[in-house]
Each structure stands twice: as structure tokens, then as C-alpha cells.
């Protein structure tokens, strides 16, 4: 069977009826990656339209609530205390300062506020503060997401009791390549945290990083792990490696942009109902690359000037591109739809007034 025929016979199954597949083989996924670019994008976009409005993108904001001094040895991460990247470590932010940032994110049109701490796992003394953050952000009408490292069953339940909507814990790469990137926690540790989060009733946000020197087989392996979880992650962030001087992966050969788009498309085919998020690395992506990613099935972005410690396109640049592409920011925000819609409209109007939008008549 040719790669095209194998991919056709499997990807159609994932889109039929109400059922989702959780038994993808590595060979099937590699066959999808091997499709011609046009065939792959057509298939992914067709599946995307079956489950989502293709002209709507969910917008999230990510805030680092505790930066640096992480004991892990993730080779991509400037927050590890094992690497000299010039990053200054900071203590856990005060709750009210976090809420100030959440209010600003809501005013810019974000519907989900994600909070990240550079920990191996939170300590008992940290939990009252992070649960207070969750409750405060929820009261603002935003969806809440946290990434705090590994969680025990009890910690996951505490976050659930506080009202946490999503927990982010990426698998990063394939099981086979994982040891080349991280040695201080195992793949099994990551899967256990996802199990604890899901058992507590919290939605799962889990994806990975590409461009770390991995092979196509590794990218297929990462997506296989995610798609074959008992329940697909509700959000699947696909990060492009941001190379930071001082980390072991600085100087890694850049991933071909077409290969990145292929990864987005295959993720959409394997997980038809998940939000596929463009995450780290967007600063280096052209407008054309963004447009292809949205067509391939990406329908969520992190919004704002910084993702934890690395740059991200400014908000007005995203609004400008949305306008040019005819894309709308998803305006769902619990308890405050009208406020968010008004805030987003004001942001777009201000961008127009500032002449930041493309003028087709010029």
C-alpha cells in the first residue's frame, strides 16, 4: 500500500461518526507525514471544518508567575538552573499582581489565562497561593490554566477544587528521543501527572516541542502518544524550539517551516476535536507561515509580548493578521462575554485608528 493510500484509509476513520481513534500506529502516522503537502493540508482542513469554525481562533495569555531556578535539566529551557542564560530568577508573584495581569489580558481579548511556574513540582507551602490565583482569575470570568510541573493526586484535586479549568503538562517529544532532551524526570512521570490531572476532572493541555533535532519518526511518536491517550487533550500546544544562548540546544539546525506545518496538520487529523495551539516560536514565523498553520488546523494561540521568558508577537500584530485573513478571535469567556467582546472590539478599533491594519484600497 502506498503512503497516500495508507493515510487515506486511516485518517478517514478518525473523522467518521462521533468516535475518535486512540489506537494509531506509528506506521499510520508516518504515512500521514509522507503525504504530498497539498493532500495533507486538504485532509487536515476538511477535518478541521467538521469540528470547528475555520475562521475562529481561541486566544490565551501566558504569564510566568515564578521564573527561573528550576532544578530540571531540560536542554531547551533557559529557566533551568543548570545553564547560564542570563535569566534572573524571581520568586512566586503576589496573588494581586497576577490578577492585575489577568485583568489586562481580559481587556485585550484573551479568554483563557495561563499561569506557569518554573518548578519540578509545587511544594505544599505553594499550593494556597496558586489556588488563590485560580479562584481570583475565575472570578474575572476567564478560563484558567496552570503549568507547575509534576502533580500528585492530592495537588491535582486541590487545583480542581479551586476551579482550575486546564492543566498544561507537555510530553515534549517521543519516548525514544526523550532521554536526549531530559534526564531528571521520566516519560512515565509525565504520563502519571496527566493521569492525575484527568482523574481530578481538570481538562488536559499537552503537546510538545519540535525543532530539537528530532526525526520525523519522533514527531510522529509524540503525536501518537497524545492521540492514543484514553481521552485526547482538549488543547495541544505545538511549540517551535526557541533557541536561547546558554542552553544545550542553542545552535540546533532550524526545522524546515514546511515540516512544522505538516506537524500541525497531522495533529489536527489525529485529534479532530482538540484545540491545536501555536505556542513558542511564533515570533520567528512569517505571516504566511501563520496563515498556513491556521489553514492546517491550528485554532488557538498565545497572545501578548512574551511566553514565559521568550518573545511572542505583539497583540496588535495578531489582530492585524486576523483582520487580513478574515479570522475572528474566539470571544467565549465565562460570565463576561459582553465585556470581552467590547474589549476586543475596542482593541481592533484602536488598531484601525493607529493605521495598523492593512488597507486594501491603499
Would you name the residues annotated as active-site residues? 70, 74, 77, 114, 145, 205, 277
Question: Which set of grid coordinates corresponds to residue 69?
Answer: 531556578
86-93, Cβ contacts within 8 angstroms, sequence gap of 24 or more? 86/245, 86/246, 87/309, 90/64, 90/66, 91/66, 92/65, 92/66, 92/117, 92/126, 92/129, 93/63, 93/65, 93/66
Number of other residues whose CB lies within 10 A of the CB of residue 154: 12
Chain centre distance of CA 176: 22
Chain centre distance of CA 71: 23
Tell me the β-bridge partners of 80: 70
Residues 120 and 70 sit within 8 Å (Cβ to Cβ): yes
Q: Give the separation between CA 212 and CA 263, rounded to whole angstroms.
A: 14
Amino acid at each position: 500500500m502506498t503512503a497516500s493510500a495508507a493515510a487515506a484509509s486511516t485518517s478517514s476513520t478518525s473523522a467518521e461518526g462521533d468516535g475518535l481513534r486512540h489506537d494509531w500506529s506509528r506506521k499510520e502516522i508516518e504515512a500521514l507525514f509522507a503525504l504530498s503537502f497539498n493532500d495533507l493540508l486538504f485532509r487536515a482542513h476538511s477535518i478541521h471544518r467538521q469540528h470547528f469554525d475555520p475562521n475562529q481562533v481561541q486566544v490565551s495569555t501566558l504569564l510566568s508567575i515564578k521564573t527561573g531556578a528550576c532544578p530540571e535539566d531540560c536542554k531547551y529551557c533557559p529557566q533551568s538552573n543548570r545553564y547560564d542564560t542570563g535569566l534572573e530568577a524571581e520568586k512566586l508573584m503576589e496573588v494581586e499582581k497576577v490578577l492585575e495581569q489577568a485583568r489586562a489580558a481580559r481587556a485585550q481579548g484573551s479568554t483563557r489565562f495561563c499561569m506557569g511556574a518554573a518548578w519540578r513540582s509545587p511544594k505544599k507551602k505553594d499550593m494556597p497561593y496558586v489556588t488563590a490565583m485560580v479562584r481570583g482569575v475565575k472570578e474575572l470570568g476567564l478560563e484558567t490554566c496552570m503549568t507547575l510541573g509534576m502533580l500528585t493526586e492530592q495537588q491535582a484535586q486541590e487545583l480542581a477544587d479551586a476551579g482550575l479549568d486546564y492543566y498544561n503538562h507537555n510530553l515534549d517529544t517521543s519516548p525514544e528521543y526523550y532521554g536526549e532532551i531530559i534526564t531528571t524526570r521520566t516519560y512515565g512521570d509525565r504520563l502519571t501527572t496527566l493521569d492525575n490531572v484527568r482523574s481530578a476532572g481538570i481538562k488536559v493541555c499537552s503537546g510538545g516541542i519540535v525543532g530539537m533535532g528530532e526525526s520525523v519518526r519522533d514527531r510522529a511518536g509524540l503525536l501518537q502518544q497524545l492521540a492514543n491517550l484514553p481521552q485526547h487533550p482538549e488543547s495541544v500546544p505545538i511549540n517551535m524550539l526557541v533557541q536561547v544562548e546558554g542552553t544545550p540546544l542553542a545552535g540546533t539546525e532550524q526545522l524546515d517551516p514546511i515540516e512544522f506545518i505538516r506537524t500541525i496538520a497531522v495533529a489536527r487529523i489525529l485529534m479532530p476535536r482538540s484545540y491545536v495551539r501555536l505556542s513558542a516560536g511564533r515570533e520567528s514565523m512569517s505571516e504566511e507561515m501563520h496563515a498556513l498553520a491556521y489553514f492546517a488546523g491550528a485554532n488557538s494561540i498565545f497572545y501578548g509580548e512574551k511566553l514565559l521568558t521568550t518573545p511572542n508577537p505583539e497583540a496588535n500584530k495578531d489582530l492585524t493578521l486576523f483582520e487580513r485573513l478574515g479570522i475572528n478571535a474566539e470571544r467565549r469567556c465565562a460570565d463576561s462575554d459582553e465585556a470581552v467582546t467590547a474589549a476586543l472590539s475596542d482593541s481592533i478599533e484602536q488598531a484601525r485608528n493607529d493605521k495598523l491594519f492593512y488597507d486594501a484600497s491603499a
